[in-house]
């Protein structure tokens, strides 16, 4: 089978490897769609993400769906990329996303989905309803991150929300916030096509990011939003989120910074009495993600701007790194 591995920063190579043989409790997944995530780009550019470093050639890809054998033929499944232990205190308390023994696809020493076949635990395979495509299934993972983020933000009907960064995660977050009842959603970005996408997907107002200065306009028009989401992973976006939220509000940090460091003005956070929550992946979101898509409350299909076959992986990552579109999908 064909496999794409990252050998070092900027060094992706395709090769042929034996098809995996699933151990007990796992099934062979024929990978049908893989979304390129911002974390994949961190691995691609830096050979690392946060404290994790490339230890051996790694297969990237954790947003994916595929086909498994079933008595009636091939069954389409979305794949939960996080295999948790299920026994630690975090898992037992209902926070499997914080499990320290997690095996996560496309991270550290755990190969991901940029290959034609992958063996994965049966309990992490989520059957997709009729009418869902492989790309729909792959989009459920980033949608799950957005759902978890909105949960952490405690968005309720009638609230105002700011989304700082209108890449795929930001666009999903603004849609989930609206579905949760937010009646005013303001989105920002540096890129015109992403600002346009935010408006098309339900933002009530879209502003050009200006190094944090956009916060002044948001506060002037709203008095401060109830919840602010940093979906960009930059200090400028986080600063704008902190400045834009009202006293007593919440700031939810979704984006992953290029450098493993985040700067916050302590006096502002303290004076406003803000609650700041960091997002660690997702938890228990697939049923809700499927229902949001099936009901039409969240539009995932219009966010897929580019699709490439596996052998065009270089082109796919070039487009994703250049931020030319929205979600880039690879179909092995």
Summarised one tens digit per residue, pLDDT across range 47-98 is 988 888 899 999 999 999 999 976 566 899 999 999 999 999 999 999 999 9
Strands (E), the chain: 2-8, 11-16, 26-35, 48-49, 52-53, 63-70, 73-79, 82-83, 103-104, 117-121, 125-127, 160-164, 184-189, 205-208, 225-230, 245-253, 275-278, 304-309, 327-331
Whether the per-residue pLDDT at 251 is higher than 80: the answer is: yes
What residues does each domain of the chain span? Answer: 2-127+300-331, 144-278
* Angle in degrees, CA 275, 277, 283, rounded to 5: 140
Average pLDDT over residues 224-241: 96
Beta bridge partners of 306: 328
- Enumerate helices (H) and strands (E) in the chain, giving the number of each: 10, 19
Per-residue pLDDT tens over the stretch 291-328: 999 999 999 999 999 999 999 999 999 999 999 999 99
Per-residue pLDDT tens over the stretch 105-141: 999 999 999 999 999 999 999 999 999 999 999 999 9
58, 170, 182, 298 from 249: Cα distances, Å: 40, 19, 14, 25
Structure pTM?
Answer: 0.96
3-class secondary structure, 113? coil
- CATH architecture of the domain with range 2-127+300-331: Alpha-Beta Complex (3.90)
**Contact criterion met (CB below 8 Å) for 280 and 98:** yes
CATH number of 144-278: 3.40.50.720
Give Cβ neighbours of residue 295 (< 8 Å, ≥ 6 apart): none
Per-residue model confidence (pLDDT) at position 259: 79
Taking alpha carbons only, the member of 119, 142, 141, 117 closest to residue 255 is 142
φ and ψ at residue 128, rounded to 5 degrees:
-100, 140
């Amino acid at each position: 089978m064909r496999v794409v591995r990252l050998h070092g920063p900027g060094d992706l190579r395709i090769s042929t490897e034996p098809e995996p043989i699933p151990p007990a409790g796992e099934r062979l997944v024929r990978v049908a769609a893989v979304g390129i995530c911002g974390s994949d780009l961190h691995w691609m550019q830096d050979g690392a993400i946060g404290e994790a470093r490339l230890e051996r050639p790694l297969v990237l890809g954790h947003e994916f769906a595929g086909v498994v054998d079933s008595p009636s033929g091939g069954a389409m499944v979305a794949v939960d990329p996080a295999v948790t232990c299920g026994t630690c205190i975090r898992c037992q308390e209902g926070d499997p996303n914080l499990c320290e023994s997690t095996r996560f696809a496309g991270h550290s020493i755990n190969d991901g989905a940029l290959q034609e076949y992958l063996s994965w635990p049966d309990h992490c395979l989520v059957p997709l309803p009729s009418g869902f495509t492989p790309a729909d299934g792959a989009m459920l993972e980033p949608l799950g991150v957005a759902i978890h983020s909105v949960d952490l933000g405690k968005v309720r009907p009638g609230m105002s929300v700011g989304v700082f960064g209108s890449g795929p995660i930001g666009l999903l977050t603004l849609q989930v916030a609206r579905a949760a009842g937010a009646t005013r959603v303001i989105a920002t970005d540096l890129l015109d096509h992403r600002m346009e996408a935010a408006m098309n997907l339900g933002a009530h107002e879209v502003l050009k990011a200006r190094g944090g200065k956009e916060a002044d306009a948001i506060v002037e028009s709203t008095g401060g939003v109830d919840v602010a989401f940093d979906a960009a992973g930059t200090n400028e976006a986080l600063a704008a989120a902190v400045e834009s939220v009202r006293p007593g509000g919440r700031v939810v940090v979704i984006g992953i910074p290029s450098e493993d460091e985040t700067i916050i003005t302590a006096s502002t956070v303290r004076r406003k009495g803000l609650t700041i929550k960091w997002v660690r992946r997702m938890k228990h979101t697939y049923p809700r993600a499927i229902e949001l898509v099936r009901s039409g409350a969240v539009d995932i299909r219009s966010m897929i701007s580019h699709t490439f076959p596996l052998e065009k992986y270089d082109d796919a990552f070039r487009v994703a790194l250049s931020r030319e579109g929205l979600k880039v999908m690879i179909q092995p």
